[in-house]
Structure 1
Amino acid sequence: MVLLAADGVAIEAVYEPADFDADVTRDAAGRVPVTVVAHGFTGSVGRPHVRRAAAVFRRYGAVITFSFRGHGASGGRSTVGDREVLDLAAAVAWARRLGHRTVWTVGFSMGGSVVLRHAALYPAGASDGHGSAHDDVHGSGHDDAHGPAHTDAVVAVSAPARWYYRGTAAMRRLHWVVTRPLGRAVGRYGLRTRIHTSDWDPVPLDPAEAAARIAPTPLLLVHGDRDPYFPLDHPRALATAAGSHADLWLEPGMGHAENAADEALLARIGAWAARRAPGG
């Protein structure tokens, strides 16, 4: 499926039904939940780690995967977490048009920051589409142009707590890729990611500030203690901002994002969402 984000960018997306043999918890009307997966920077629907995550999440319901702008077969250029919230909103709205009552979002790294901002900017029950005082996405509003785009539970894996972090060698390399012409060429031809040349204007809602606005939507924060990009002060800052309604899992020996999330962890995430999301 090709979806259109609210700003007109074409987004490739894939829908997969729940595993036939899965013991899926259905709502009162017999509808299964759906997981919408938001990949990390340089990922796409076809990357093996994204496909592996989708296969595990199909044990708990249907799954939608998509490629953020500038990635895979999607149009546009990556804004590294800013306007990508519109891509996620389009995918969630598609899930609801397909008839799913319960939708949860799972994001990795850049996708983790996106699911946090999406949950803050698209709260349940808002349907006027005219935005809000804290809407930092130009023209998005609470609902996608094609229907409600709120989520019922949020999982952020390996997400940053603040923007412009350069405290690790891995993040300094990433900033070189994003901000330098030669780096963007490496991104395009080496990493198959097309990166926007403009700086953020305005700067998006900070991930920690977004986490503070998600309640009462259930939130799970997952982070590895060997993450080479973001040390443990990031998930702890997110958890502090989110307050008591958030769960924090610090995973021993885990590295970064979907590449480091093994099948057992993905299954635990799916089981958490099935317990916590309304209707699940």
Structure 2
Amino acid sequence: MSIEPAGRAPRSTGSPHSETPRRTPIRTFLHTEDGVTIDSVYDPPSFVYDASRPPARDLGFVIAHGFTGDVDRPHVRRVVEALSRYGGVVTFSFRGHGASGGRSTVGDREVLDLAAAVAWARGLGHARVVTVGFSMGGSVVLRHAALYGRESGAGVDAVVSVSAPARWYYRGTAPMRRLHWLVTRPAGRLVGRYGFRTRIHHRQWNPVPLS
């Protein structure tokens, strides 16, 4: 999916520290480069803090949730509520999560999901786009920034990575052992599908990431 960066949005007429009426969120399905449908939501900016700064509508955020999350989870919506004070916010469910199509590859092909969401933010008029990722999403935003740079329509201007995993093969903690069981074992993938609404692909990364 390729969308050329849009021009700068018109400057906001809101006065400093004034609230502007929140517009209705937009919900749609995006299509990735490899044909997966991605459940996505756009929340327009709700606040303009200082008229002397760049307008809120110029800045957009794209939120990348963690493994087993989705666009409707309460903690994701809380992040949206906080960031929408500064700009528009695009959230989406990674492949295999929630109402999105496909199966989770635990951070591999998910860069295509993020690229589609970033391109949508550009197409909505946000000249500056920041990706914010948590856990698995934190690793995806880093990989996406390295692969796409700033020049393409799916590139970004800044990246925030929160609690991203550094090593996939680490099994030194109980949560990581449970994660490996969930991803690598057939029984674990069944639990992921019916217990966490997360459909996990049986194939490993190609190439396998370094650890």
Please classify the TM superposition score into its range, dividing by the shorter chain length.
0.7 to 0.9
Q: Are positions 1:187 and 2:192 aligned together? A: yes
CA-atom RMSD in angstroms: 1.5
Match of 2:86 in 1: 60
AA aligned to 1:26 is: P
Match of 1:211 in 2: none
Q: Are positions 1:15 and 2:42 aligned together? A: yes
Contact in 1 for aligned 2:69/2:93 (Cα 8 Å): yes
Task: Give the deviation of 1:166 after TM superposition.
Answer: 1.4
AA aligned to 2:171 is: R
CA distance in 1, matches of 2:123, 2:103: 26
Match of 1:264 in 2: none
AA aligned to 1:57 is: L
Task: Give the deviation of 1:65 after TM superposition.
Answer: 0.3
AA aligned to 2:94 is: F
Per the alignment, in what secondary structure is the counterpart of residue 34 of structure 1? strand
Task: Give the deviation of 1:112 after TM superposition.
Answer: 0.2
Match of 1:112 in 2: 138
- Cα deviation 1:233-278 (Å, max 9, x = unaligned): xxxxxxxxxxxxxxxxxxxxxxxxxxxxxxxxxxxxxxxxxxxxxx
Stretches of structure 1 lacking an aligned partner (at least 5 in a row): 126-142, 208-280
CA distance in 2, matches of 1:162, 1:179: 16
For residue 172 of structure 2, the aligned residue among 156, 167, 188 is 167
AA aligned to 1:71 is: H
- Cα deviation 1:136-161 (Å, max 9, x = unaligned): xxxxxxx4xxxx10111100001012
Per the alignment, in what secondary structure is the counterpart of residue 89 of structure 2? strand
Which structure 1 residue ranges, 4+ long, deviate > 6 Å from structure 2?
none
CA distance in 2, matches of 1:33, 1:192: 32
AA aligned to 1:85 is: V
Stretches of structure 2 lacking an aligned partner (at least 5 in a row): 1-27
Please identify which structure carries the higher helix content.
1
CA distance in 2, matches of 1:116, 1:192: 25
AA aligned to 1:15 is: Y
Contact in 1 for aligned 2:60/2:128 (Cα 8 Å): yes
CA distance in 1, matches of 2:141, 2:208: 17
Task: Give the deviation of 1:31 after TM superposition.
Answer: 4.1
CA distance in 1, matches of 2:87, 2:125: 13
CA distance in 1, matches of 2:93, 2:54: 28
Using structure 2 for the length normalisation, give the TM-score: 0.82
Match of 2:54 in 1: 26
* 1:128-277 correspondence runs (5 A): 143=152, 148-204=153-209
Task: Give the deviation of 1:22 after TM superposition.
Answer: 3.5
Per the alignment, in what secondary structure is the counterpart of residue 45 of structure 1? coil
- Cα deviation 1:78-127 (Å, max 9, x = unaligned): 000000000000000111111110000000000000000000001112xx
Match of 2:3 in 1: none
- Cα deviation 1:208-227 (Å, max 9, x = unaligned): xxxxxxxxxxxxxxxxxxxx
Match of 2:32 in 1: 5
Task: Give the deviation of 1:4 after TM superposition.
Answer: 0.6
Q: Are positions 1:73 and 2:78 aligned together? A: no
Per the alignment, in what secondary structure is the counterpart of residue 201 of structure 1? coil
Per the alignment, in what secondary structure is the counterpart of residue 155 of structure 1? strand
Task: Give the deviation of 1:163 after TM superposition.
Answer: 2.3
Contact in 1 for aligned 2:40/2:71 (Cα 8 Å): yes
